[in-house]
Amino acid sequence: MVFQSGMVRPTVGRTFVLTLAAGIVFGFTFAYLLLVTTNYSLVDINWVAPRLAQPYDPHHHSDLENLENIPMGSMGEHGHDEEFHKDEDLVAREMAQKVRVLCWIMTNPKNHDKKARHVKATWGRRCNIVLYMSSTNDTSLPTVALPVKEGRDFLWAKTKEAFKYIYKHYLDQADFFMKADDDTYVVVENLRYMLSEYSPMSPIYFGCRFKPFVKQGYMSGGAGYVLSKAAVMMFVEDALPNKGCRQDHGGSEDVEIGKCLDLVGVKAMDSRDSLGRGRFFPFVPEHHLIPGHVNKDFWYYKYIFYESREGLDCCSDSAISFHYVSPNLMYVLDYLIYHLRPYGISHNVHGLAPTLIESSGGSEKVITGGSEKVMEEEEEEKLADTNTKS
């Protein structure tokens, strides 16, 4: 609108300004009262666009740094003579004498009370021997004080020192040696069941197999990995002095030990069950069980050696380990696995697993009826096929 010279421009009335100001004040006041009374905060509101739901289970060590409401006292226990528990572990006890497993737990002084003691209270006590590898003495666990610095940059150094300590003090007291983190949960009985197929004098190791960096793949450190007695001997005696095995403290512990074991001929094994379902898992059960829980571009799907299934088909009935398990979840898993019993459903297990390790003339062998050779041939075919595709 064009105004002629001398004409008076229209002005905004004082009443309009006051009404507008009052409306703004009333609007913000009402919105504030609404937020307060409905227990929302301004931080909770997404002012831009709605976000897709993200998984809330831990996927990194930092996700379990600030733990709250950790159990402090005794959690109690169910007696072995109770109705549902009497003599239920006869086979497991027999297996524990045949397949001796030493478990060593990677921990540090900050986590002795926060994490490691909950391993001790749950699955750790089912190992034949359990060692807590740290850098300071703690009689409550107790720990082994290794001559290493703490921190993620020194995990490879701690791993080397741990296996040297085991080689020196415990080599003849176990058949297989499992490394696990202080936030790993392990079903030790299922571990023994799987290992009963193999000789401790075969140079082999098991775990959640990843495919990059090492020709035959390597085992995830978080899910835990298991070395045979022969593998420990070859690692300490042959790999560690070899210049091809990383000599300093740096590097990712699981990748570096994978390279060293490959260097001296220790074979990375397929730990899946007869149905192709996994047994070692680098995350909590929810991550693997729930389809679409994380996007397919997540690093895990690029690393995993074998096809990763979702839903109930993901995981073996004889699953062995899960990682990033909080102390609270450790007790939940312990209850669900060892105490909860659906009435009327029995688990028929008669005697030991069909393959038993026996001593003969000072040397150990495996009674397999030829299955060991077949498994080795299948393993070589899988590895060759994977390398061809990559």
pLDDT in tens, 97-111: 999 999 999 999 999
Structural domains of the chain in order of their starting residue, each with its CATH number: 87-341+349-389 (3.90.550.10)
Which pLDDT band, with edges at 50, 70 and 90, does 382 fall under?
low
pTM: 0.74
Q: What is the pLDDT of residues 67-85, one digit of tens each?
A: 566 666 676 776 667 777 7
Report the percentage of the chain scoring pLDDT > 90. Answer: 55
Q: Residues 270-275: what's their mean pLDDT?
A: 94
Taking CB atoms within 8 Å and a gap of at least 24, the contacts of 347-351 are: 349/91, 350/91, 351/91, 351/94
Q: Are 239 and 263 in contact (CB under 8 A)?
A: yes
pLDDT of residue 61: 54
Q: Are 194 and 320 in contact (CB under 8 A)?
A: yes
pLDDT of residue 81: 72
> Which of 51-60, 257-266, 310-319, 376-385 tops mean pLDDT?
257-266
Taking CB atoms within 8 Å and a gap of at least 24, the contacts of 121-124 are: 121/75, 121/331, 122/185, 122/330, 122/331, 122/333, 122/334, 123/185, 123/186, 123/187, 123/188, 123/330, 123/334
* Dist. CA 254–CA 319, nearest whole Å: 20
Q: Is residue 365 scored above 50 in pLDDT?
A: no
Q: Is residue 353 scored above 70 in pLDDT?
A: no
Q: What is the pLDDT of residues 299-330, one digit of tens each?
A: 888 988 888 888 898 899 999 999 999 999 99
**Beta bridge partners of residue 278, listed in sequence order:** 315
* Dist. CA 335–CA 77, nearest whole Å: 9
Q: What is the pLDDT of residues 25-70, one digit of tens each?
A: 677 666 666 655 544 444 343 433 333 344 455 555 554 555 566 6
Taking CB atoms within 8 Å and a gap of at least 24, the contacts of 83-88 are: 84/339, 84/341, 85/339
SS3 content of the chain, % helix, strand, coil (to 5): 40, 15, 50
Q: DSSP assignment, residue 273?
A: -
pLDDT of residue 163: 98
Which pLDDT band, with edges at 50, 70 and 90, does 2 fall under?
very low
Lowest mean pLDDT among 7-11, 102-106, 110-114, 239-243: 7-11
Could you check whether the bond before residue 142 is cis, i.e. omega within 30 degrees of 0?
Answer: yes
* Dist. CA 63–CA 60, nearest whole Å: 5
Q: Are 326 and 183 in contact (CB under 8 A)?
A: yes
Which pLDDT band, with edges at 50, 70 and 90, does 214 fall under?
very high
